[in-house]
C-alpha cells in the first residue's frame, strides 16, 4: 500500500526530479515525503528530519505543500493552517539559508510556491529569492522565466527593472517560443511595458500559436484576451479567434471561468452574441450545483446580469439563504451584482450590508470605494454605516500616494452627503492633480462640482478652496493637452470623457490638439477618433475629412465590424466629406461579405446609422428583416444590460419605420405598432414653455387657437409639435374640439380622440398639412448651427407622410431679433407660408 502511494505521488514533478538512482543512492527523507497524502504528513516528516534536510528536501516539501492545496476546492484549502505551522517556519528558514544551492528551476519554483502559500512579498525569504532570480535572469529557461514573471506580477512589480529585462528577453527570443502557455503568461506579465512594435510581434506570434495549440487549453486564449485588455487594444481578428476557441470550451467551463472571460470581454467592449448565449445556457445548467458560498458567488456574478426575472428571483432567494456565510469579498461581489441588476430586495440588501459592516477592517481602499458606491446606488439607508464608510474613505485618501486610487476614493466620497469638505482632502487632491490623466481630471471636476452644490455657503459665493481646485484642474488639463504628442494616448484618455467641465473648459483645446496630431490618424485609430467626434457632437471638418481619407485608403485593413464606428459621425453629424458616396460604398462593400458574422445588435445599429444618412443597402435590409435574424436578436437582447436592450429595441423600431417610409419596394411590414403604443403610454406627455409660447403665437397667426393641433402623433408614431392645415388659398382650417389637444397649466397634454394619427380627417381638396417643429440644441452640432442627421431624417419622413415641414431652430426663436410679440408672429408667418406649393 505504501509503495502504491509512493508511485501515485511521484507523479508530481517535485518528487520526480529527486527520486532517481538505485538502491545505493536511496534518500530516506524523499521516500518518506513520497508516501505523504496530505499537508500534515509532509510537515510531520519535516519535523522529524530537521537536521537532515537538504536543499532538495526543502524544495520538494514546499512544492508538495502547494500541490496538495491547489488540488482542493478553494473553500477547503488550509493555507493559513500551513502558514502558521512551526514546521513551515522551519522550511522557510532553511530555504533562505540554501538559496545559493538551488538550481535555476528550483529557485523560481520556490518563489512561486511560497507566494502561493501566502508568504508576504515583504518577507525576507521572498525578497532574497527575487534578488537571486534577478541575478540569474538571462540564463533562465523560458518556462522558468514565465513563472518568475508571474511572481513579479503577484508582488505588483510590473514596472520593476527585472520585468523590463524580461520584456527585453521576450523580444529577443520570441521566435523560439512554441508553447502557447509560456507565451501568453509572459504577454500578460509584461503587458504594461510593451512598445507598439513588440505588441504587434506578440499578437502575430499568438495568432500563429492559436492555430497549432490544443484547443481544449482554454486558458491560453483567455490570457491573450487579458493581454489585449491590459494594453487597451481591441484587435478584433485575434479577439475573434480567441472567442472561437473559448466558445467551443463553454460546455466544460465553470462559473468562475465564465465570469472571468465575460469580465474581460466587457472591459474591452467585445460583445459576442454566440458566447453570451452559450455562457447563459451553461450557467443555467450550473444553478442547481452551486449551493455553497464560493461557487454561488461566481455563478451569481456571471449569470445575474443576463438572467430573466424568474431566474433573478431564484438567485436572490439563494443569496438570501447564504448571506450570513459570505466572506467579505463574496459580499462585495454580490453587492456589486445586486446594484448591476438593480435589485430591490430590501431584505437581501440589508443582509449583504450587514456582512459588509462586520468586515470593514478587511477591505482595501479600492474595495471600500466599490462597496460604498454599490450601497449608494442600491439606495441602502444606514447613516451609521455610511458615516463609517466616509471616515474610512477619507483616511485611505489622506494616506494614498496613487493617483488612480485618490481619483476613485474622491469620486465615491463626493457621492456621500457631507456639509463640509475636509481641508486635508482638498490638499491631497490638489497634490495629485499634476500626475493625473485627462479622464482622472474630469472625474475630479465632477466631484468638485458636487461639493460646490452641496456646500451651504455656495448660495452666497463659491468658497475659495473650490475655486483654487478648479483653477488647478483647468491648468493641468490644458497643460496635458498642449504637451500631448501621441494621438493614441490622447484618444485613450478621452474615451470616457463627458460632462460640463470637459465641454466648457477642455473641448476646444482638445480639438486643437487632435488637429495638431491629425497626421497620426491611421486605420488602427480611425474608429476611436470617429466615436469621439460622434460622442461630443462636435463638427470638426478637417478631422472628419482625414478620417474619410484614411478609411477609403485602408478599408481592407479596418475590421468589418469597425465600419459602424467609422461611418457614425458622418451620419449623426450630417457631414458629407469629399467623396462621401465612395466612402459609404466601400464601407458597405466591406460589410456585406461578413454580414452573417455581425452580432445582431451591432448590425441593427449599423443599419440605423446608414438609414440616417439616407442609405439602405438591399442585402442589409433583407438580412435584418427576416424571422431567423429577429429571433436571434431577441435572444441576444435578453442577455444585454437593460439600458442597451432598450436602446437596440428603439433603434430597430426607427429602422423599421425608415425602411417602410423610404423603401416601400422592400415590402418590409411595419411591426412596431404595439411597441410604440407602449412607449406612448410611458411618456410624460408634456411640452416645454417655449412650445406653449409657440402654440399661442400660432393661434394668433392662423386665426384661432383651434387652427393648430399640439403634439400630434402621425402614422408611424412621429410626434409633431404642431400641425395645421392650410386650404388652397393658404387659409388655416379649424379643427373640431374633439380632435384638439388641450394643454394644462403645468404643460401636460390632454389627448383627444385623434391622438395616434389613425383617424386623421381628410383635408379639403388642394389643402396642405403643415408640421411645425421646434428644434432645441440637441438637433444641432455643439459648435455650430449645423443640423444633425436625425433631424434631417425626421424632415424627410414627415415630407413622405405628406407634410410641408417647418423647422424652428432654437437659436432663431431665442435670438435678439425676435424679442417682441410682433416679431415672433411675423417670423412664424414667413416660415409657414414661404415655400408652400
Tens of pLDDT, residues 583-628:
999 999 999 999 999 999 999 999 999 999 999 999 999 999 999 9
What is the structure's pLDDT at 74? 78
Q: How far apart are CA 493 and CA 340, in angstroms?
A: 25
CA atoms within 13 A on the CB side of 691: 25
Calculate mean pLDDT across residues 115-136: 94
Helix (H) / strand (E) element for 151: namely helix 142-154
Calculate mean pLDDT across residues 2-12: 40
What is the structure's pLDDT at 15? 59
Chain centre to alpha carbon of residue 808:
38
* pLDDT of 682 above 50: yes
Calculate mean pLDDT across residues 466-484: 94
* pLDDT of 398 above 90: yes
What is the structure's pLDDT at 672? 96
Q: How far apart are CA 187 and CA 228, in angstroms?
A: 9
What is the structure's pLDDT at 533? 96
What is the structure's pLDDT at 73? 82
* pLDDT of 421 above 60: yes
Q: Give the percent of the chain with pLDDT over 70.
A: 92
Averaged pLDDT of the chain = 90
Helix (H) / strand (E) element for 775: namely strand 768-775
Helix (H) / strand (E) element for 722: namely strand 719-726
* pLDDT of 470 above 50: yes
What is the structure's pLDDT at 750? 46
What is the structure's pLDDT at 275? 95
Q: How far apart are CA 51 and CA 736, in angstroms?
A: 107
What is the structure's pLDDT at 685? 65
Long-range contacts of 508-517 (CB under 8 A, 24+ apart): 509/477, 509/478, 509/481, 509/482, 510/481, 511/538, 511/540, 511/543, 512/481, 513/481, 513/482, 513/484, 514/487, 514/490, 514/540, 514/543, 515/540, 515/542, 515/543, 517/484, 517/485, 517/486, 517/487, 517/490
List CB contacts of 223: < 8 A, sequence separation 6 or more: 184, 185, 187, 188
* pLDDT of 19 above 60: no
* pLDDT of 396 above 90: yes
pLDDT digits (tens, 9 = 90+) for 131-190: 999 999 999 999 999 999 999 999 999 999 999 999 999 999 999 999 999 999 999 999
pLDDT digits (tens, 9 = 90+) for 551-578: 999 999 999 999 999 999 999 999 999 9
Three-state SS annotation for 463-528:
CHHHHHHHHHHHHHHHHHHHHCCCHHHHHHHHCCCCCHHHHHHHHHHHHHHHHHCHHHCCCCCHHH
Q: Binning pLDDT at 50, 70 and 90, where does residue 752 land?
A: very low
Q: Binning pLDDT at 50, 70 and 90, where does residue 72 land?
A: confident
The grid cell for 728 is: 388652397
In contact, 238 and 203? CB cutoff 8 Å: yes
Q: How far apart are CA 227 and CA 203, in angstroms?
A: 9
* pLDDT of 456 above 70: no
What is the structure's pLDDT at 486? 95
Bridge partners for 720 per DSSP: 712
Calculate mean pLDDT across residues 525-549: 96
pLDDT digits (tens, 9 = 90+) for 184-208: 999 999 999 999 999 999 999 999 9
pLDDT digits (tens, 9 = 90+) for 492-502: 999 989 889 99
What is the structure's pLDDT at 442? 96
Q: Binning pLDDT at 50, 70 and 90, where does residue 2 land?
A: very low
Q: How far apart are CA 832 and CA 726, in angstroms?
A: 10
What is the structure's pLDDT at 9? 43
* pLDDT of 670 above 80: yes
Q: How far apart are CA 517 and CA 494, in angstroms?
A: 14
Tell me which of 295 and 740 has the higher pLDDT.
295
Tell me which of 749 and 360 has the higher pLDDT.
360
The model carries a pTM of 0.87
What angle, rounded to 10 degrees, do the helices at 196-212 and 161-173 form? 60
Q: Binning pLDDT at 50, 70 and 90, where does residue 819 land?
A: confident
What is the structure's pLDDT at 11? 42
What is the structure's pLDDT at 766? 83
Q: What are the C-alpha distances in Å from 237 to residues 225, 240, 571, 596?
A: 11, 5, 26, 16
In terms of Cα–Cα distance, which of 501, 383, 382 is closest to 438? Answer: 501
Q: Binning pLDDT at 50, 70 and 90, where does residue 459 land?
A: low
The grid cell for 518 is: 491629425
- Backbone φ, ψ for residue 750 (5° rounding): -105, 120
What is the structure's pLDDT at 807? 95
Calculate mean pLDDT across residues 393-402: 94
Q: Is the dihedral of CA 371, 373, 379, 380 positive or negative?
A: positive
What is the structure's pLDDT at 737? 52
DSSP string across 346-365: HHHHHHHHHHHHHTTTT--H
What is the structure's pLDDT at 168? 96
* pLDDT of 427 above 70: yes
The grid cell for 106 is: 528550483
Q: What are the C-alpha distances in Å from 87 to residues 45, 67, 82, 94, 126?
A: 9, 17, 9, 11, 18
Bridge partners for 719 per DSSP: 713
Q: Binning pLDDT at 50, 70 and 90, where does residue 8 land?
A: very low
pLDDT digits (tens, 9 = 90+) for 159-168: 999 999 999 9
Calculate mean pLDDT across residues 504-510: 95
Q: Binning pLDDT at 50, 70 and 90, where does residue 271 land?
A: confident
Q: Give the percent of the chain with pLDDT over 90.
A: 79
What is the structure's pLDDT at 765? 84
* pLDDT of 220 above 90: yes
What is the structure's pLDDT at 738? 42
Amino acid at each position: 500500500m505504501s509503495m502504491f502511494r509512493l508511485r501515485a505521488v511521484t507523479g508530481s514533478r517535485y518528487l520526480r526530479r529527486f527520486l532517481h538512482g538505485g538502491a545505493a543512492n536511496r534518500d530516506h527523507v524523499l521516500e518518506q515525503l513520497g508516501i505523504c497524502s496530505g499537508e500534515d504528513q509532509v510537515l510531520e516528516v519535516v519535523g522529524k528530519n530537521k537536521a537532515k534536510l537538504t536543499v532538495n528536501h526543502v524544495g520538494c516539501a514546499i512544492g508538495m505543500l502547494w500541490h496538495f492545496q491547489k488540488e482542493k476546492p478553494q473553500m477547503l484549502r488550509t493555507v493559513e493552517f500551513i502558514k502558521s505551522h512551526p514546521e513551515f517556519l522551519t522550511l522557510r528558514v532553511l530555504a533562505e539559508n540554501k538559496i545559493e544551492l538551488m538550481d535555476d528551476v528550483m529557485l523560481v519554483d520556490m518563489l512561486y510556491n511560497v507566494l502561493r502559500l501566502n508568504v508576504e512579498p515583504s518577507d525576507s525569504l521572498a525578497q532574497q529569492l527575487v534578488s537571486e532570480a534577478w541575478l540569474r535572469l538571462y540564463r533562465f529557461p523560458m518556462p522558468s522565466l514565465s513563472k518568475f514573471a508571474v511572481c513579479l506580477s503577484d508582488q505588483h512589480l510590473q514596472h520593476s527593472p527585472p520585468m523590463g529585462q524580461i520584456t527585453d528577453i521576450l523580444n529577443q527570443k520570441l521566435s523560439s517560443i512554441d508553447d502557447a502557455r509560456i507565451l501568453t503568461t509572459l504577454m500578460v506579465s509584461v503587458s504594461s511595458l510593451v512598445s507598439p512594435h513588440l505588441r504587434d510581434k506578440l499578437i502575430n506570434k499568438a495568432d500563429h500559436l492559436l492555430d497549432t495549440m490544443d484547443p481544449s487549453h482554454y486558458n491560453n486564449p483567455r490570457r491573450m484576451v487579458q493581454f489585449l485588455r491590459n494594453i487597451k487594444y481591441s484587435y478584433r481578428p485575434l479577439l475573434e479567434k480567441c472567442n472561437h476557441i473559448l466558445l467551443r470550451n463553454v460546455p466544460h467551463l465553470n462559473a468562475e471561468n465564465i465570469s472571468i472571460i465575460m469580465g474581460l470581454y466587457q472591459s474591452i467592449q467585445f460583445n459576442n452574441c454566440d458566447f453570451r448565449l452559450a455562457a447563459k445556457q451553461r450557467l443555467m445548467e450550473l444553478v442547481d450545483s452551486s449551493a455553497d458560498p464560493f461557487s454561488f458567488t461566481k455563478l451569481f456574478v456571471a449569470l445575474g446580469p443576463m438572467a430573466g426575472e424568474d431566474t433573478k428571483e431564484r438567485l436572490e432567494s439563494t443569496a438570501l439563504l447564504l448571506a450570513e456565510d459570505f466572506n467579505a469579498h463574496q459580499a462585495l461581489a454580490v453587492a456589486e451584482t445586486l446594484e448591476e441588476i438593480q435589485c430591490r430586495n430590501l431584505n437581501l440588501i440589508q443582509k449583504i450590508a450587514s456582512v459588509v459592516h462586520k468586515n470593514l477592517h478587511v477591505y482595501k481602499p479600492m474595495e471600500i470605494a466599490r462597496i460604498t458606491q454599490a450601497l449608494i446606488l442600491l439606495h441602502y439607508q444606514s447613516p451609521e454605516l455610511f458615516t463609517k464608510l466616509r471616515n474610512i474613505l477619507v483616511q485611505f485618501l489622506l494616506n494614498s500616494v496613487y493617483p488612480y486610487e485618490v481619483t476613485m476614493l474622491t469620486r465615491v466620497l463626493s457621492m456621500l452627503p457631507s456639509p463640509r469638505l475636509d481641508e486635508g482632502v482638498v490638499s491631497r487632491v490638489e497634490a495629485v492633480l499634476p500626475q493625473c490623466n485627462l479622464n482622472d481630471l474630469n472625474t475630479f471636476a465632477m466631484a468638485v462640482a458636487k461639493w460646490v452644490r452641496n456646500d451651504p455657503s455656495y448660495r452666497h459665493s463659491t468658497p475659495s478652496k473650490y475655486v483654487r481646485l478648479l483653477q488647478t484642474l483647468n491648468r493641468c488639463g490644458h497643460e496635458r493637452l498642449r504637451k500631448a504628442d501621441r494621438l493614441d494616448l490622447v484618444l485613450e484618455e478621452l474615451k470616457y470623457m463627458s460632462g460640463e467641465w470637459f465641454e466648457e473648459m477642455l473641448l476646444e483645446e482638445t480639438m486643437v490638439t487632435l488637429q495638431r496630431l491629425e497626421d497620426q490618424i491611421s486605420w488602427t485609430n480611425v474608429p476611436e477618433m470617429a466615436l469621439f467626434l460622434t460622442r461630443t457632437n462636435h463638427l470638426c471638418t478637417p478631422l472628419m475629412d482625414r478620417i474619410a481619407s484614411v478609411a477609403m485608403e485602408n478599408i481592407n485593413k479596418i475590421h468589418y465590424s469597425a465600419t459602424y464606428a467609422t461611418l457614425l459621425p458622418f451620419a449623426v453629424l450630417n457631414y458629407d466629406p469629399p467623396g462621401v458616396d465612395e466612402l459609404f460604398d466601400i464601407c458597405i462593400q466591406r460589410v456585406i461579405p461578413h454580414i452573417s458574422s455581425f452580432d445582431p445588435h451591432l448590425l441593427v445599429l449599423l443599419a440605423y446609422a446608414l438609414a440616417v444618412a439616407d442609405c439602405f443597402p438591399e442585402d442589409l435590409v433583407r438580412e435584418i428583416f427576416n424571422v431567423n435574424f429577429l429571433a436571434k436578436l431577441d435572444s441576444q437582447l435578453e442577455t444585454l444590460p437593460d439600458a442597451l436592450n432598450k436602446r437596440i429595441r428603439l433603434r430597430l423600431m426607427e429602422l423599421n419605420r425608415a425602411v417602410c417610409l423610404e423603401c416601400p419596394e422592400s415590402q418590409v411590414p411595419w411591426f412596431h405598432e404595439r411597441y410604440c403604443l407602449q412607449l406612448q403610454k410611458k411618456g410624460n406627455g408634456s411640452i416645454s414653455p417655449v412650445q406653449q409660447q409657440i402654440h399661442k403665437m400660432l393661434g394668433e397667426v392662423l386665426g384661432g387657437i383651434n387652427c393648430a393641433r399640439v403634439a400630434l402623433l402621425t402614422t408611424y408614431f412621429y410626434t409633431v409639435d404642431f400641425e395645421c392645415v392650410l386650404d388652397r388659398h393658404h387659409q388655416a382650417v379649424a379643427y373640431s374640439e374633439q380632435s384638439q389637444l388641450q394643454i394644462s397649466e403645468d404643460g401636460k397634454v390632454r389627448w383627444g380622440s385623434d391622438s395616434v394619427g389613425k383617424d386623421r380627417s381628410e383635408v379639403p381638396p388642394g389643402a396642405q398639412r403643415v408640421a411645425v417643429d421646434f428644434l432645441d440644441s440637441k438637433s444641432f452640432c455643439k459648435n455650430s448651427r449645423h443640423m444633425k442627421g436625425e433631424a434631417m431624417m425626421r424632415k424627410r419622413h414627415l415630407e413622405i407622410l405628406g407634410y410641408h415641414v417647418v423647422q424652428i431652430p432654437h437659436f432663431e426663436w431665442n435670438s435678439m431679433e425676435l424679442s417682441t410679440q410682433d416679431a415672433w408672429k411675423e417670423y412664424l408667418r414667413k416660415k409657414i407660408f414661404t415655400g408652400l406649393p
